[in-house]
Structure 1
Amino acid sequence: MSENLENGDSADMGENEQRPNGGGDEGDAWGNQGSSVRRFARMPVDRNAPYYNMSHKQRGMAVIFNHEHFDIHSLKPRTGTHVDCDNLAKVLKNLGFRVTVLNNLKAKDVNKYIQQTAEMDHSDYDCLLIAVLTHGEMGLLYAKDTHYKPDNLWYYFTADKCPSLAGKPKMFFIQACQGDKLDGGITLSNRTETDGCPSSTYRIPIHADFLIVFSTVPGFYSWRNTTRGSWFMQALCEELRFYGAERDILTLLTFVCQKVALDFESNTPDTQAMHQQKQVPCITSMLTRLLVFGKK
């Protein structure tokens, strides 16, 4: 059966009585149905717990793929990315992460490291965090030698492929352009112009518990200061530094968005088309609980 049996529920109930919505569920798709094999993983937290379990022996791995130099002639060096990388590594270490920085890897090496990380045993870890600092365009990120799709980063970490991270938060922070569109912003005014036995097991989708944050929205430019680093990483590091152990991650990221949106504006007076442009990060959350790092 697909539903748990509790409080004397009969195993021979009709399908309509099993489902709270009544009737049967169908997928809005046509074609292959995929695998129906049941897989099991250790439950890291009770079924209805409101918070993720952040009391494992260790916080977890944080991997930073930092790209400054490229073999592709059309891609300029990302001056200032070392500032982002250093700041992010420092705040993540302070939050208890085991941080690894990898500089200027080729695409095959990025993919190899991702696979090796997914094959590790993360049972004693709270979570996983991966950050990528690089050039990008719509639907693509750049390694030293060529581009790859962003979903390569999280493909190997779904619950079926990496069961030791099942039910645990997996975070991806991507500092990269997603296109060449510019956001000129708008001025607001106050003036108006016109586990096992049925009672202790539950199933989750393999794509649950992911958090993916891009520095900008699809199709748009992402700004980086050559001295202070990218707008997104400046704001993210500041929020993590002061509130990383206190605020839940989505609240924290809301204020990251606020900082980027309100506190930054491009300063390129010699190129008027690029001058006084704005930016806002883009958050995709499949988190199923509140994530608060807490003290480690």
Structure 2
Amino acid sequence: MSEIEALDNGEKEQRPNGGGDEGDAWGSSDSSAAMRRYARMPVDRNAMYYNMNHKYRGMAIIFNHEHFDIHSLKSRTGTNVDSDNLAKVLKNLGFRITVLNNLKCEDINSYIRQTADMDHSENDCLVIAVLTHGEMGMLYAKDTHYKPDNLWYYFTADKCPSLAGKPKLFFIQACQGDKLDGGVTLTNRTETDGSSSASYRIPIHADFLIVFSTVPGFYSWRNTTRGSWFMQALCEELRYSGYERDILTLLTFVAQKVALDFESNTPDMPCMHQQKQVPCITSMMTRLLLFSKK
């Protein structure tokens, strides 16, 4: 069935390990937890790979922010290079691209909700990218800040059943603070010398992949001519390995490229000079994701 149905909890659940499971939380659980929800199964329970053979690859939405109404935020010169490159590589992978420039927070929320309300039954997956300024726990729209989880809140399996069990990818190019990563030099020298089809259940937050350009608390670098380090590396890997490598392997090499191939060049500002960066990957994926050719 394609729509969620809520059933009472009168049906007893079989627990393979015996006994009862408890949550490590104080107080009673949300009453909604007693409701059993159902959505269409996109792939067999024990499948190794996500089903990427739907009619369409899916939507890719890019929220690109260059200019801001907030006086303390400078224009993000170079972000349009990121946006154009990402749109191009995702289009080559079969995505239907939407680029939205300099939206206000209310407009972002509205577009997210509209997208979640759509029928994605014929789509493989969803990609949302945000290119903006940020700080610890916050991203910036044109007019104000918002929490990153606003981006994926409406796409959980209970709220967007047509994407249940399908990959939902979020790429966020933004600072997460103002700390700098000076890096460590590694050397070889020592100190002395110098498949079942039965029904199954998934957590509502399963199948999300959230990738920040940098780790919490740290600066994220952008070249005003070539674009951000993270987007340069991501686009290059998607362009050359998008069909060959599963997404987590691909992102490992994105992290490698950012970590090893880039270093800030600001000799006139010694405290910012020769700094490093590494992306931060949070995965709730339950299968391997490989972009098979359409």
Q: Considering the TM-score relative to the shorter chain, is it more than 0.5?
A: yes
Residue of structure 1 aligned with 2:104, choices 86, 106, 116: 106
Pairing 1:29–2:25 present: yes
TM-score, with length taken from structure 2: 0.92
2:39 maps to what in 1?
41
Pairing 1:141–2:139 present: yes
1:121 maps to what in 2?
119
Q: Which amino acid is the alignment partner of residue 260 of structure 2?
A: L
1:203 maps to what in 2?
201
Gaps of 5+ in 2: 1-11
Gaps of 5+ in 1: 1-13
Work out the CA distance in 1 between the residues paired with 2:288 and 2:251: 13
Q: Which moved more, 1:134-143 or 1:22-31?
A: 22-31
Work out the CA distance in 2 between the residues paired with 1:269 and 1:37: 60
Shift of 1:30: 1.2
Shift of 1:19: 3.4
Work out the CA distance in 2 between the residues paired with 1:150 and 1:127: 20
1:56 maps to what in 2?
54
Identity between Structure 1 and Structure 2 (%): 85
* C-alpha spacing 1:199/1:290, structure 2 compared with 1 (3 Å): closer
Q: In the alignment, is the contact (CA less than 8 A) between 2:44 and 2:197 conserved in 1? A: no
Pairing 1:249–2:247 present: yes
1:30-88 alpha-carbon deviations (Å, 9 max, x no partner): 12411111111100000000000000000000000000000000000000000000000
5 Å-filtered alignment, 1:1-296, equals: 18-34=14-30, 35=32, 36-193=34-191, 200-296=198-294
Compute the RMSD of aligned alpha carbons.
Answer: 1.4
Work out the CA distance in 2 between the residues paired with 1:69 and 1:285: 31
TM-score, with length taken from structure 1: 0.92
* C-alpha spacing 1:199/1:67, structure 2 compared with 1 (3 Å): closer
2:9 maps to what in 1?
none
Q: Which moved more, 1:234-243 or 1:34-43?
A: 34-43
Runs of 4 or more, structure 1, over 2 Å off, are 18-23
SS of aligned partner of 2:81:
helix
Shift of 1:245: 1.1
SS of aligned partner of 2:115:
helix
Q: In the alignment, is the contact (CA less than 8 A) between 2:70 and 2:142 conserved in 1? A: yes
Work out the CA distance in 1 between the residues paired with 2:149 and 2:292: 29
Q: In the alignment, is the contact (CA less than 8 A) between 2:45 and 2:197 conserved in 1? A: no
